[in-house]
Structure 1
Amino acid sequence: MGTLDGRVAVITGAGRGIGREHALLFAAEGASVVVNDLGGANDGAGADTGPAQEVVDEIVAAGGRAVANTDDVADWAGAKALVEQAVSEFGGLDVLVNNAGILRDAFIAGMDEAQWDSVIAVHLKGHFAPLRHAAEYWKARTKAGETVRASVINTASASGTFMPNAGQSNYGAAKAGIAALTLVAADELDRYGVRVNAIAPIARTRLTLATPGMGALFAQEVEEGEFDAFDPANIAPMVAYLATEKCPFTGKVFSVQGGAISELRGWRGERTVETDGPWTVAGIDEQLADWA
């Protein structure tokens, strides 16, 4: 018996890296998986049906159930088709794992509009569009009297939460937006039986290997037999756990790296100054003098 027996899952960006490991583990745990991957390069250019189909072939060869999907998750109609494929192929949808992403790193003073727009589109809209169509499906099932026990796992990043990285204003902003989207969605979709959480994974992928100032860290070799803390396979068990029917968590963001899992918290007031009347610039300067 697998922990995901009978569950139907859509996993975006599942042709390589972290998403591939999600798909393989989900299938091994009994889920039927729609393996989505456009098959583009690191920067999102191009398309290739190979990566998604190769993962499907591996799952099927191991006795699992999976189908490939190469829709662009940042495209409204493509995201809808992705959700519809899960329903038509496997009879429903229980889990959505939003994982697809690209990089177009540049420092702010030199970033062009396309670099900004493409990253925001793939990450932020590419999370929202599948979520929106999945939410519509779950809402309809609930209104029809069915009991829904669905789960959404979004993919934020250290770059957008606790470890901002120079050269990634587009990526960091998108990932911070995904963390906020997760909290709002958890609040909205609870009434339909849907839990929504996010992870901020740290692992070796083709994207992290290309990240300025971090590639060398992720590329470090590990002696045979030693625990590889940056293996992307380390991320999948937490995502599978969040996808289980009885997992209690919703509205959470977890950092996952190697053998460590941490709960992240958002912006919170740490210090406060007050005045009985309206503020003046001089008054603020005096009150905040010891904060710098």
Structure 2
Amino acid sequence: MGSIAAGKVVVVTGAGGGIGRDIAIAYARAGAKVVVNDIGVSLSGQGGTDGPAHAVVDEIIAAGGTAVPSTASVAGYESANQIVQTAIDHFGRIDIVVNNAGNLRDRLFHKMNEEEWRQVIDVHLHGSFFVSRAAAPYFREQESGAYVHMTSTSGLIGNFGQSNYSAAKLGIAALSKSIALDMARYNVRSNCIAPFAWSRMTSSIPAETPEEKARVEKLQKMETHKIAPMAVYLGSDAAAEVTGQIFGVRANEILLFSQPRPVRSVHMSDGWTPELIAQIAIPAMQGQFHKLERSPDVINWDPI
């Protein structure tokens, strides 16, 4: 067992498999006590069993670590509080929240229904807020704490058929920045990771055309355990000066993402009319327009 997170208590949501499981195990190896949270449903929301959370806890304990399971849902305010309460009840404190729980309901925007929209927003965006909010009083009182949220290039850049997921993931980036600003006075940090990895979530990506098959083949090279070191680092005291940032982890590659800032401005002393905007403002700014791109169009090199 390592020591970079020794003495810390961490809650990892969606930790029954994939990225979350690897993060939970990595924290335990780094010396942390772990609340392994997973509601135990399929990617599409079917079923529901405490098996995944308990299985990961058993694995951690067998390796000499310390962990307890939680099967409460992140998508409800009260149940999210139960997740954090599990840490308090068993370990007496909470130091780190890793908001990893997720689901997918992919559908083209003009075909997406209300349920598909709400289910993804509830788990990703509401869930990240609810669990983070539940930990906030403890972080504030002890004047320390760290949040690690999972965002996605589907929101940061764009993707087809994921308006619900993209909106939630970009919302999480904004939520993280707001937390970082609001809680800096209490020495609380908040950062995001955009993970690139083959997991339950990405396994639903279609692979029918030659292009789709080639993309999936590249994704399959990116293993979930590669995300864990950054998640552990961001929760540790070694990252004491790091907050409000968005990182990407792609196999052995770490990326730092830019955040929206003005790139061009135009001024008209007498004010603008719609006609003048069309004649002057837009032509002046058009060279800096962002192309209508998807994540694979922008991050289009092979993982290393």
- The TM-score with structure 1 as length reference comes to 0.92
The 3-state SS of whatever aligns with 1:10 is: strand
Partner of 1:20: 21
Residues 67-82 of structure 1 mapped to structure 2, 5 A cutoff: 67-82=68-83
The residue type paired with residue 33 of structure 1 is V
User: How far, CA to CA, are the matches of 2:265 and 2:163 in structure 1?
Assistant: 28
The 3-state SS of whatever aligns with 1:15 is: coil
Work out whether 1:111 is the aligned partner of 2:112.
yes
Gaps of 5+ in 2: 288-304
Number of equivalent positions: 280
Work out whether 1:203 is the aligned partner of 2:197.
yes
Task: Please point out which of 204, 217, 221 is paired with 1:220.
Answer: 217
Work out whether 1:234 is the aligned partner of 2:234.
no
Residues 68-122 of structure 1 show CA distances to partners (whole Å, capped at 9, x for unaligned) of 0000001111111111110110110000000000000000111000000000000
User: How far, CA to CA, are the matches of 2:261 and 2:206 in structure 1?
Assistant: 29
Per-residue deviation at 1:278?
A: 2.1
The 3-state SS of whatever aligns with 2:87 is: helix
The question of whether the paired residues in 2 share the 8 Å contact of 1:27 and 1:65 is answered with yes
Could you say which structure has the higher helix fraction? Answer: 2
The 3-state SS of whatever aligns with 1:152 is: strand
User: How far, CA to CA, are the matches of 1:5 and 1:11 in structure 2?
Assistant: 16
The question of whether the paired residues in 2 share the 8 Å contact of 1:150 and 1:245 is answered with no
Per-residue deviation at 1:217?
A: 4.8
The question of whether the paired residues in 2 share the 8 Å contact of 1:208 and 1:215 is answered with no
Per-residue deviation at 1:268?
A: 1.5
The residue type paired with residue 231 of structure 1 is E
Residues 181-229 of structure 1 show CA distances to partners (whole Å, capped at 9, x for unaligned) of 000000011112211101000100011111246974565389xxxxx84
The residue type paired with residue 153 of structure 2 is A
User: How far, CA to CA, are the matches of 2:247 and 2:72 in structure 1?
Assistant: 28
The 3-state SS of whatever aligns with 1:187 is: helix
Task: Please point out which of 187, 192, 203 is paired with 1:193.
Answer: 187
Task: Please point out which of 247, 254, 260 is paired with 1:254.
Answer: 247
Work out whether 1:59 is the aligned partner of 2:51.
no
Residues 275-286 of structure 1 mapped to structure 2, 5 A cutoff: 275-286=268-279
Partner of 1:225: none
Percent identity over the alignment is: 41
The residue type paired with residue 247 of structure 2 is F
The residue type paired with residue 269 of structure 1 is P
The 3-state SS of whatever aligns with 1:33 is: strand
Task: Please point out which of 265, 273, 276 is paired with 2:258.
Answer: 265
User: How far, CA to CA, are the matches of 1:265 and 1:251 in structure 2?
Assistant: 11
User: How far, CA to CA, are the matches of 2:190 and 2:84 in structure 1?
Assistant: 17
The residue type paired with residue 231 of structure 2 is V
Residues 37-186 of structure 1 mapped to structure 2, 5 A cutoff: 37-139=38-140, 141-142=141-142, 148-162=143-157, 164-186=158-180
Partner of 1:244: 236
The 3-state SS of whatever aligns with 2:283 is: coil
User: How far, CA to CA, are the matches of 2:197 and 2:98 in structure 1?
Assistant: 17
The question of whether the paired residues in 2 share the 8 Å contact of 1:209 and 1:218 is answered with no
Change (3 A) 1:219 1:278: closer
User: How far, CA to CA, are the matches of 1:105 and 1:74 in structure 2?
Assistant: 19
Per-residue deviation at 1:167?
A: 0.2
User: How far, CA to CA, are the matches of 2:215 and 2:25 in structure 1?
Assistant: 22
Change (3 A) 1:218 1:53: farther
Gaps of 5+ in 1: 143-147, 223-227
Per-residue deviation at 1:249?
A: 0.3
Change (3 A) 1:217 1:124: farther
The residue type paired with residue 243 of structure 1 is G
The residue type paired with residue 32 of structure 1 is K
The residue type paired with residue 226 of structure 2 is N
- The TM-score with structure 2 as length reference comes to 0.88
